Structure 1
Amino acid sequence: ATLALTSANHVYVTNKIRFDLIYFHCSITPVNDTKHFMVGAYKEHRLEGSSVRIISIFRRDSVQPLYCVFYCGTHWANGMKAEVQMHSDHFGTCYLVFSPALTHPNQRNKGLADTKLAQNQSFLRIQNLVKREEEKFQFNFTVCWSNLFGDYNNVLQVTQTLEMYKLLGVQHVVVYNTSSGSDLDRLLQSYTQDGFVEVVPWPIGKYMNPSRGWQPSEHGGDIHYYGQLTTLNDCVYRQMYQSRYVLLNDIDEIIAPYQHQTLPQMMDVLQRQNPKAEVFLIENHIFPKSQFEPSGRFELPRWRNVPGINIMAHIYREEPDYRISHPSKMIVRPRAVEQTSVHSVLRNFGQTVKVLPNVCHIIHVRVPLQGGLTKEELHEDKRVWDYERQLVPNVDKALEQAGLLIEGRKE
């Protein structure tokens, strides 16, 4: 089953014209004669009736009436008006970065005489047609990374993060890639070949001017942070019947358990303690990349020519300033999520639980948030070192397989 969105002035009745179906497999598909774009179409099993949800990007100042056209392999379904649900977050940018459309393709017509159709539209394949039970899911834990951009080439940190996630019990990582450096491309290609990483092309710059920073007032742009809200929501729906849990966080963050060895062990306990919980908020903790562990224990010579940050050298953590809003990232059961933002779920079917930081928090190695703190004012946190015995050789192996662990290699 496939569908297309079309504007009102292109819906018509005919039985004489030849229809050219165009199936798009890329991640952003323009809607003809509008400033709108389709991203993904998903069967919605959680609402009454037969519905399809379309993840879309809308320009806020020119929302047009839209109609859905379904082609079901042997027949057309009647064209019908889409019900548009606006995402409340847009951070001051021009484009609504997520706008699901609910449609009801119940009426089917074997003939074309009285079916409303759109000529030369771009059709999307409807995903999630089968509602699988959890015991039949392909993955237990999936990580969704949104929006690589700016020729990002932080190879060493990404490798260490991916190998940490493997040790923590993650089986699948999805990354939406606008642009990455040549070295990171090689690394991701290597992980893609072994099935651990799935790269979704995200050429957002082809269609609009994305904001290149968090603050639109400073960085401008038509859409916030390369369409991050769109990709996060799309990833949730992509994984809805593939993965039991989905982690929503950035590429330089690790959601790490502190009282359990793995994420499955932790989530089994949290789920028993909170049987109705579907969204788990995890505190973000900053590990300043400007502060180094003094012994140089993990400043390994073979890693010196690999571009990127060595997270094992940064063991000092800022204490969050709880006097201000402190952001979290999330572990969610995607079947309970209807609409998400970056730091919280906006619409869901279950309860939300804030996980205590001594149980789990994010290891986020980056520029300091509280830049004036000295090493003595930071907390020592060697959680990554607990996995040293397996982590170091696994990182070596991954870099070697990608052709990036070469002595004397130029940066």
Structure 2
Amino acid sequence: MSKLTREYKMHSGKRLAFVQTVLLVILLSLIVHFTLSQLRESQSNYVPYIFRIKEKYVDLEPSQGSISVEYEAEATAETSTHPMLNLNPTLDDWIGGKIKGYRIFAFSAFLDIRNASAPYIRVLGAAPTNYEPFVSDILCDVFQEDGQPLKTVPSEIRIQMPSNGASNCSFFFECDLSSISRSVWQTAYWVSLKSSRPPDQNNTSLPKLRVHHLALPNPADSDGTFVACIKPFFGLWNSPFALVEFIEMYKILGVSHFVFYDTSIGTDARRVLNYYAAKGLVTLFRWTLPYDRRDILHNAHHTCINDCKMRVINRFEFLVTVDVDEFLLPTNGMTTLYALIQEIHKKEQANNRNPSLIGAYTFLNKFFFKEFGKVTKDDGEGGKTEEKLRNSLSTQAYVQRSPSFFEYRRRSKYIARPNATDFLTVHHTANFSQGYRDYVVPSHLGLSQHYRLCAWRGIKICLMQKPLIDTNAWTWASLLVPAVKEACLLLDLNNINVCPFI
């Protein structure tokens, strides 16, 4: 064999070894990526790319509240502090347009002037997951009430990537108004998104969205008040009795208003919501999301939660974000959420920490799986209507829970201060205004009690641990049972076999 042939074979062998190494690295990377993807899918609150923190929020000091003192003195006369302003469900619905070849959708828009030196309009919507690299030149057309253009301004984008690999996700466009004088942006009434490229069949503008203005702070109206924001239901959800229990329990806990989003609600559940809406306790928004359920994570729930948060800023001091089978309950003998928060503040002050800087109160999750079975309470009067009713309520009958806690930010739920937060996710607050922080509620003070079936991919591993008896929810039985009974009678739910024992 010639020297040239030997060198050629040696060189070819090195090249082959190099190629094999590269292929092995690629294969290992794919295995790791697939494993992580499976892990992420199993954690409903996994956030692979959290909302970006923006510099324009850094000079919002906690002592200023949620709006600059300077603007508060010069606010326009039409700005109201009435709690229901911005909660008109007829003003907003999903609209769509095609920008740079992609279909994007928007639901609502808000003028945020909490930092008066950097005002902006936040547009809340949804777009394809791979859309972000193409939005560097998205512009915002701002209009006054009569449709006359005010200004075209640049925008920035925030995105909540889905954990389930869905092809669409929640998007948030922020139209920068810092180059516009106050006298101009105060009159902003409509906003539309467009590309800086010339319009064509693949590049049109988004239809105009109504711009909501935040209310002025009025502590006399909002201090100590609670609103609950509930994300869209799945499927044709129709559990009216569970809905009555949910609303009546949170009313006892101190919530004075409930905001729901209507994707697909059954006839009987809608009847319950209409009943409470007539009493001024519920606002129901249309949520006609233009995606199949498989195409976007949980009906764009991150868009929904942040839409609700923007609407209630300066109208309620506290925002509760839960599902209808979740109850944030004090465990220390307190009977209202406000009493619990006051107790937390006392403990913070005793430890030389400023409680006014708490932006959210996060409750760890405990599952009360229904497969564990009911533990009915019989006081010797089991034949009474009230006793039958009590043993039909999830919070009163299902008192066996899993012994282990989920870690912080996993399955947890929270109470947020809307004025102190920037972006919310389902299980925790993503971003706070500067200076504010999260407070993890210790289990001896409060828990998120979650009543549901154990069903993760058909494997009931959640039932392998021996349950513990936890009767904490019985604390509210004497108030909850008569409240639910009254609602059942007024709604005439016994005639549709919902409250047959009434």
Same fold by TM (over 0.5)?
yes
Residue of structure 2 aligned with 1:268, choices 326, 337, 342: 342
Provide the residue aligned with 1:27 in structure 2.
Answer: 93
Quick one: distance in 2 between partners of 1:333 and 1:50? 20
SS at match of 2:362: strand
What one-letter code is carried by the residue in structure 2 that aligns with 1:71? F
Aligned twin of 1:281: 362
Aligned-partner Cα distance in 2 for 1:247–1:117 = 31
Q: Please, which of 448, 451, 460 is the counterpart of residue 362 of structure 1?
A: 448
Does the CA-based 8 Å contact 2:124-2:307 persist in structure 1?
yes
What's 2:167 paired with?
94
| Partner-residue secondary structure (3-state), 1:152 | coil
Matched, 1:68 2:126: no
Deviates more, 1:149-158 or 1:90-99: 90-99
Larger relative strand fraction: 1
Superposition map of 1:209-358 within 5 A: 209-210=292-293, 221-259=294-332, 260-272=334-346, 273=348, 274-295=355-376, 297=378, 310-321=394-405, 326-349=410-433, 350-358=436-444
Match of 1:59 in 2: 128
The Cα of 1:410 is off from its aligned counterpart by 10
Relative to 1, partners in 2 of residues 1:300 and 1:148: Cα closer, same or farther, differing over 3 Å?
Answer: farther
Structure 2 CA distance for aligned equivalents of residues 201 and 322 of structure 1: 33
The 3 A distance-change label for structure 1 pair 338 and 408 is: closer
Distance 1:383 1:271, change over 3 A: same
Residue 253 (structure 1) shift: 0.5
- Partner residue of 1:396 out of 464, 467, 485: 485
Contact 1:396 1:405 in 2 (8 A): no
Q: Which amino acid aligns with 1:93?
A: A
Rg larger in 1 or in 2? 2
Listed one character per residue, the Cα deviations across residues 172-221 of structure 1 (whole Å, up to 9, x for unaligned) are 111112112211111111111111111111111xx1122xxxxxxxxxx2
Task: Assess if the C-alpha contact under 8 Å between 1:302 and 1:406 holds in 2.
Answer: no
Structure 1 unaligned residues grouped into runs of 5+: 1-23, 110-115, 211-220
Q: Following the alignment from structure 1 to structure 2, what is the Cα–Cα distance between the partners of residues 387 and 82?
A: 49
User: Judging changes above 3 Å, is the alpha-carbon distance between structure 1 residues 361 and 318 closer, same or farther for their aligned structure 2 residues?
Assistant: same
Q: Share of identical aligned residues, percent?
A: 20
Q: TM-score, normalised by structure 2?
A: 0.66
Question: SS of 2:159's equivalent?
Answer: coil
Conserved in 1, the CA contact under 8 Å of 2:365 and 2:405?
no
Residue 127 of structure 2 aligns to a residue in which SS? Answer: strand
Name the structure 1 match of 2:463.
372
Task: Give the aligned partner of residue 384 of structure 1.
Answer: 473
CA distance in 2: counterparts of 1:85 and 1:341, whole angstroms = 13
2:495 partner SS:
coil
Letter of the 1:36 counterpart:
I
Distance, in Å, in 1 between the alignment partners of 2:234 and 2:445 is 32
Residue 237 of structure 1 aligns with an amino acid whose one-letter code is M
Contact (CA 8 Å) 1:320, 1:326: kept in 2 or not?
A: no
SS of the equivalent of 1:395 reads helix
Q: Distance in 1 between matches of 2:383 and 2:123?
A: 48
SS at match of 1:405: helix
Q: CA deviation at 1:359?
A: 0.5
- Cα deviation code 1:319-360 (max 9, x no counterpart): 125589842111110112111221122211211111101111
Distance 1:408 1:263, change over 3 A: closer
Is 1:135 matched up with 2:194?
no
Whether 2:151 is the aligned partner of 1:78: answer yes
- Secondary structure (helix, strand or coil) at the match of 1:171 reads strand
User: Residues 128 and 256 from structure 1, CA distance in 2 versus in 1: closer, same or farther, beyond 3 angstroms?
Assistant: farther
| Partner amino acid, structure 1, of 2:141 | V
Equivalence for 1:213: none
Is 1:160 aligned to 2:245, yes or no? yes
What is the distance in 2 between the residues matched to 1:303 and 1:100?
52
In structure 2, list runs of 5 or more residues that go unmatched.
1-89, 186-191, 195-203, 349-354, 455-459
RMSD between superposed Cα atoms in Å: 3.2
State the Cα deviation string for residues 124-168 of structure 1 (Å, max 9, x = none).
222234332333339810111101121111222221111111111
Distance 1:295 1:267, change over 3 A: closer
- Equivalent residue number for residue 209 of structure 2: 124
Deviation at 1:61, TM superposition (A): 2.5
* Equivalent residue for 1:41, pick from 94, 109, 120: 109
> How far apart are 1:53 and its partner, in Å?
1.3
CA contact (8 A) 2:215 2:315 kept: no
Q: Is the 8 A contact 1:144 1:249 kept in 2?
A: yes
Letter aligned with residue 50 of structure 1? P
User: Following the alignment from structure 1 to structure 2, what is the Cα–Cα distance between the partners of residues 129 and 76?
Assistant: 21
Q: CA 1:199–1:140 in 2, change beyond 3 Å: closer, same or farther?
A: same
Taking the aligned partners of 1:313 and 1:225, their CA distance within structure 2 comes to: 29
Q: Check the 8 A contact 1:141/1:171 in 2, yes or no.
A: yes
